[in-house]
Amino acid sequence: MLRDKSSSAIVAVSDIASARDFYRDVLGLQLAREEMEDVLVFRTGDTSLVVYVSDAAGTNRANAVVWDVGDEIDDIAADLKRKGVTFEHYRGMPDVQLDGDIHVSGSMRMVWFKDPDGNILHLNNM
């Protein structure tokens, strides 16, 4: 059944060239395939992230993709900030404090940011 199968995240974008630049150059993902028009496949760990053109790009108001980056969260967030990424600051979450751009709850550290279409991307140290 499905528990034995791999899955991939898929994100809708409006401009494939802008998405290529952001996911490859800003996030540093390796472009694995682009043979289909308006579809890009990036390597991310042992999985894939599929980016495709859609009129519904950016309409999701929840996390589109999440990465567990472990103890590297501070370094990765700092690198993304140097590359111009603006982090979201969510207020009103119980027991969560902001430490710069990083949301902290006990030992859990989290950041959220958006791609050029407004898709919400999330990093944590789980």
Is 62-126 in CATH node 3.40.50.2300? no
* Measured distance CA(97)–CA(117) in Å, rounded: 27
For residue 43, which of 17, 16, 23 has the smallest C-alpha distance? 23
For residue 85, which of 43, 116, 52 has the smallest C-alpha distance? 116
**Which whole-number Å values give the CA distances from 46 to 6, 9, 64, in the listed order?**
9, 12, 18
Please give the pLDDT value at position 92: 85
**By the 8 A CB rule, do 66 and 126 touch?**
no
Please give the pLDDT value at position 35: 83
Which is the CATH superfamily of the domain at 1-54? 2,3-Dihydroxybiphenyl 1,2-Dioxygenase, domain 1 (3.10.180.10)
Q: Provide CATH 3.10.180.10 ranges for the chain.
A: 1-54, 62-126
Confidence label for 2 from pLDDT (cuts 50, 70 and 90): low
**Predicted TM-score (pTM) of this structure:** 0.89
Please give the pLDDT value at position 89: 96
State pLDDT tens for residues 45-104. Answer: 989 999 999 999 989 889 999 999 999 999 999 999 999 999 999 988 889 999 999 999
